[in-house]
Structure 1
Amino acid sequence: MRIGSHNLRNNLFVAPMAGVTDRPFRQLCKKLGAGYAVSEMIVSNAQLLKSQKIMRRANHDGEVAPISVQIAGSDPVMMAEAALHNVERGAQIIDINMGCPAKQVCNVAAGSALLQNEALIFRILSAVVAAVGGSVPVTLKIRTGWDRDHKNALTVAKIAEDCGISMLTVHGRTRADLYHGDAEYETIAAVKASVKIPIVANGDISSAHKAKHVLAFTGADAVMIGRAAQGRPWIFRDIELFLRTGKEALSPRVDEIQEIMNEHLRDHYAFYGEITGVRTARKHIAWYSRGLPKAAAFRERMNKLGSTKEQLCEVNEFFEQQKAHSERLCYEQESSGEMLAA
């Protein structure tokens, strides 16, 4: 798999997720089998580019190449400037967000709101490609349309191809769908058949079997995985094994996941610092522990801890208890009755 001049390890991608795909998480996913990862969304507003939050999102120190930065906005000039700004700071691929369904993004006519204005899509893509396309590839992520009555993924794909976009990712839902219902793989297949640029399928890919099915059904060149990797970053390793050999991976050993969590949390704490590190690590710890015996009580205790030392100590104590229960991760029904294994 290639994006521009960049050779990727495989065709398994980490989706950009605000508040999740920070540098520590991207690095971990790449280590555990992902061939490519896109940064959290960075706004194109020049006044915000030097804020602590955006500076942290744009931190790629030591990250495995290629470095991909996702930008968002609705003004072609500002988007071009944001692309240049990030290239000057190490971005090797620029990804444009036209798929985010969040209200705060769509309310400023960015993200998937742009799917309602094809003329503006053309101007933004043209401006960004003209600004950086000679030095770095520009990619695009979209949804299938604004709502079920206004699907225009095929039209947008053609615009993207004509503008020189190097790769297109399609999340198989409309903006109105948010994350509800089943992903529309038929639409992704139609997009793939309509253009010559590489197409990435995104949406509901939560297992090795599902990844293989989606690749075969859509004809897509790659799959992008988001929510299923939260607390299960080894999903990329499992899918890679299955696609290459047809063998299903065993559930990871408890001691292995304990080691992965320790590495992730230490990197996370170093990246965010003591105060922010404790707070932002809680969601990752909750995802790692979901579906495990006594996880609900563990998460309740975790939310009361105020230091990284206490947090890490509690995590290790919890996983020592898991080892006594089983050698490998063994998921159970939580109180909601929902099976939470990836």
Structure 2
Amino acid sequence: MRIGPYTIAPHVILAPMAGVTDKPFRVLCKRLGAGLCASEMTTSDPRFWNTAKSRHRMDHDGEPAPISVQIAGTVPEVMAEAARYNVAHGAQIIDINMGCPAKKVCNAWAGSALMREPALVARICEAVARAVDVPVTLKIRTGWAAGQKNALEIARIAESAGIAALAMHGRTRDQQYTGTAEYDTIAEVKAALSIPVVANGDIDSPEKAAAVLAYTGCDAVMVGRAAQGRPWIFREIAHYLATGEHLPPPTLDEVRDVLLGHLEQLHGFYGEVSGVRIARKHLGWYAKDRPENAAFRAVVNRAETAEAQLALTREYFDALIAGEPLAVAA
């Protein structure tokens, strides 16, 4: 799949997720097989560009190309300026957020709330596409609610406005992340467009990725929540799509080394105090499928320093490898 001058390979993409897809996680997922990783949603309001949160979200130093930055907002001219600003700071692809279902975003008529305003969608897409000389992509949902599915209308508007590729989550805004994603609407949109279309929603295994690609005819799949604590899912999906065979799961040694490396990157990126705090949720995701999850979290969450967090994590996995998982929990 190509987005402008960029070949996206493998065609497995990390979904933008606020509070998750920061630079350390994006770099890790790219190393473990993601063909493209979109940044956390960044505000288009210039008043907030110099906050610590925005500075971290706009930091792409050393990040592997292509660098995709997602922006959110409601005013075409402001969105265009945000696109120019982010391109000047390293963005190689600009992604427009019209898929976020969060109440605080939708209450400001941003995110998926924009799907209720097709004319405004057209103005935003046109303004952003004209403002920068890099590809502009768009993330949407199937619609606002069950009786208001207008993804096909929005997709056609986006294509006409110069959008280079479209990612689509198979739920309405009202569904948030409940129920199950549906792919009929995604297939309908894909059949109607000439630009690449990416399927998103409930893709949590190699088999599911292959089935969704076959059913929708899409050019790529996008993985979100299933990558939390499982960043190697990208190489697993890519290998299965290429060969029809499964990779063996990562060994405990590899999981330990991946996690320790991730923690070190978080500590370095955010500083010790914030890095330790932010790392706790990643530790929980890594351990969530293990029977010792509660014991592990109880121990590691007590760590107040980077050194302690790394040491406790290393001890936990070393105990598992030695067949003594309760040693750390004690």
Equivalent in the alignment of 1:79: 79
Structure 2 counterpart of 1:48, one-letter code: F
Equivalent in the alignment of 1:61: 61
Equivalent in the alignment of 1:254: 252
Q: Is the 8 A contact 1:293 1:322 kept in 2?
A: no
1:249-294 alpha-carbon deviations (Å, 9 max, x no partner): 2121000111111111111110010100000000000011112132
Structure 1 residue 312 displacement after superposition: 0.7
Distance in 1 (alpha carbons) for counterparts of 2:194 and 2:143: 20
Q: Does 1:115 align with 2:83?
A: no
Equivalent in the alignment of 1:33: 33
Distance in 2 (alpha carbons) for counterparts of 1:70 and 1:247: 33
Bigger drift between 317-326 and 193-202 goes to 317-326
SS in 2 for 1:41: strand
Structure 1 counterpart of 2:240, one-letter code: F
Distance in 1 (alpha carbons) for counterparts of 2:39 and 2:289: 28
Structure 1 counterpart of 2:295, one-letter code: A
SS in 2 for 1:238: helix
Equivalent in the alignment of 2:49: 49
Equivalent in 201, 205, 219 of residue 203 of structure 2:
205
Distance in 1 (alpha carbons) for counterparts of 2:242 and 2:83: 36
1:291-319 alpha-carbon deviations (Å, 9 max, x no partner): 21321011022222211111111101110
Which blocks of at least 5 consecutive residues in structure 2 are unaligned?
326-330
Distance in 2 (alpha carbons) for counterparts of 1:260 and 1:190: 39
Structure 2 counterpart of 1:283, one-letter code: K
Equivalent in 259, 265, 268 of residue 267 of structure 1:
265
Equivalent in the alignment of 1:149: 147
Q: Is the 8 A contact 1:212 1:243 kept in 2?
A: yes
Distance in 1 (alpha carbons) for counterparts of 2:170 and 2:259: 31
Distance in 2 (alpha carbons) for counterparts of 1:9 and 1:162: 26
Structure 2 counterpart of 1:192, one-letter code: K
Equivalent in the alignment of 1:290: 288
Distance in 2 (alpha carbons) for counterparts of 1:287 and 1:76: 37
Structure 1 residue 325 displacement after superposition: 2.9
Which runs of structure 2 are paired with 1:1-342 in the superposition (5 Å)?
Answer: 1-132=1-132, 135-325=133-323
Q: Is the 8 A contact 1:13 1:34 kept in 2?
A: yes
Distance in 1 (alpha carbons) for counterparts of 2:129 and 2:238: 32
Structure 1 residue 131 displacement after superposition: 0.7
Equivalent in the alignment of 2:328: none
Structure 1 residue 62 displacement after superposition: 0.4
SS in 1 for 2:322: helix
Distance in 2 (alpha carbons) for counterparts of 1:206 and 1:37: 16
Structure 1 residue 324 displacement after superposition: 2.2
